[in-house]
Chains A and B, each alone.
Chain A
Amino acid sequence: MSETLKLTVDRRDELAVIYTEGYINNQGGEEIAREAFKLIDDGEKTLLLNLSGTKIVNSIGISILIEIIEKMLDIEGKLAFCSLTPTIEKTFHIMGLTQYAAIFPDEESAVGELA
């Protein structure tokens, strides 16, 4: 497992997908937020975070993801997650994130719903 998070962004017509690879800790969360806020500033209103390359997160990293959710609520946009491990999905449920951000089993179903 890498302790450094790598990000890839795929901008499409109706949404942008951010792919993560590695541990989402405080630095990882900040990197995601930086990328997400840049996309929002560029006019994106729908973001999908594909976490298929992330096997572990911590609560500090997730707290930073909540900042992105807050921003999306402000601009009336949408943030969704896909391809989570069962434990990350369970953690998001424990924290109640699913009230504000949809979770999809895979990217195909997420894009089908969001785009």
Chain B
Amino acid sequence: MENSLVLREVTLTLPMLPDMEIAASKTATAMAEFMHMSSDRIDEVRMAVVEACINSFEHSQATDRKVYITFSVLGDRQPETLQIVLRDTGIGFDPGDVAKPTIEEKIKAESKRGWGLQIIQGLMDEVEISSNDDGTKIVMTKHR
């Protein structure tokens, strides 16, 4: 991907309001359709984007209450990869501190939530998270 060109790019700034994740998922769908991704893979991207937005909405504590998302279609002449970068300006977290949830544990637990990262990692081809006191950036990649 190092030598890839950016063939198309769209940037969204979304307020952290109910159902705004749907706006992000619609843009992801349009970008994936542009690169002729299969419908099943488009659905996977869509769901991963929804989860990334919800994680940010719920946990970032960003004072501007916004997420910044860049959707880039990358490739050498032909579209090959969809890269989605979601940023917030929240308090950050240590990804190493996030315990991997298990159904056995969650089914008995009072809180059954905390699945977002596991779902994103399961649905996308590559996921990179960087986070510090200035915010969190998640880079999600799906190949065509």
Contact check, A91 vs B123: say whether CB atoms are below 8 A apart: yes
Which of A25, A91, A100 is B19 in contact with, Cβ under 8 Å?
A25
Complex contacts, B112 vs chain A, CB 8 Å: 63-64, 66-67, 70
> Is there a chain A Cβ closer than 8 Å to B15's Cβ?
no
Complex contacts, B40 vs chain A, CB 8 Å: 86-87
Complex contacts, A59 vs chain B, CB 8 Å: 51, 54, 113, 115-116, 119
> Is there a chain B Cβ closer than 8 Å to A15's Cβ?
no
> Is there a chain B Cβ closer than 8 Å to A96's Cβ?
yes
Complex contacts, B77 vs chain A, CB 8 Å: none
Complex contacts, A94 vs chain B, CB 8 Å: 118-119, 122-123
B92-113 interface bits toward A, Cβ cutoff 8 Å, 1 = contact, 0 = none: 0000000001111011100011
Contact check, B21 vs A58: say whether CB atoms are below 8 A apart: yes
Instruction: State A23–B23 Cα separation when bound (angstroms).
Output: 13
> Is there a chain A Cβ closer than 8 Å to B32's Cβ?
no
Which of A23, A58, A99 is B54 in contact with, Cβ under 8 Å?
A58
Contact check, A3 vs B122: say whether CB atoms are below 8 A apart: no
> Is there a chain B Cβ closer than 8 Å to A1's Cβ?
yes
Instruction: State A56–B113 Cα separation when bound (angstroms).
Output: 17
Main SS class of interface, B? helix
CB nearest neighbor in B for A65? B112
B18-42 interface bits toward A, Cβ cutoff 8 Å, 1 = contact, 0 = none: 0101100100000000000000100
Complex contacts, B47 vs chain A, CB 8 Å: 56-58, 87, 91
> Is there a chain A Cβ closer than 8 Å to B142's Cβ?
no
Complex contacts, A23 vs chain B, CB 8 Å: 22
Which of B22, B106, B119 is A1 in contact with, Cβ under 8 Å?
B22
Contact check, B43 vs A85: say whether CB atoms are below 8 A apart: yes
Q: In whole Å, how far is B93's beta carbon from the nearest beta carbon of chain A?
A: 17
Complex contacts, B104 vs chain A, CB 8 Å: 96, 99
> Is there a chain A Cβ closer than 8 Å to B50's Cβ?
yes
Interface residues of A in 39-81 (CB under 8 A from B): 55-60, 62-64, 66-67, 69-70, 73
Chain A positions within 8 Å of B, measured between CB atoms, are 1, 3, 23, 25, 55-60, 62-64, 66-67, 69-70, 73, 85-87, 90-91, 94-97, 99-100
Chain B positions within 8 Å of A, measured between CB atoms, are 19, 21-22, 25, 40, 43-44, 46-47, 50-51, 54, 101-104, 106-108, 112-113, 115-116, 118-119, 122-123
Instruction: Provide 14 A-B residue pairs closer than 8 Å at the C-beta atoms, listed in order of the A residue.
Output: A25-B19, A58-B54, A63-B113, A63-B115, A64-B112, A66-B112, A70-B108, A85-B43, A87-B123, A91-B119, A91-B123, A94-B118, A94-B119, A99-B104
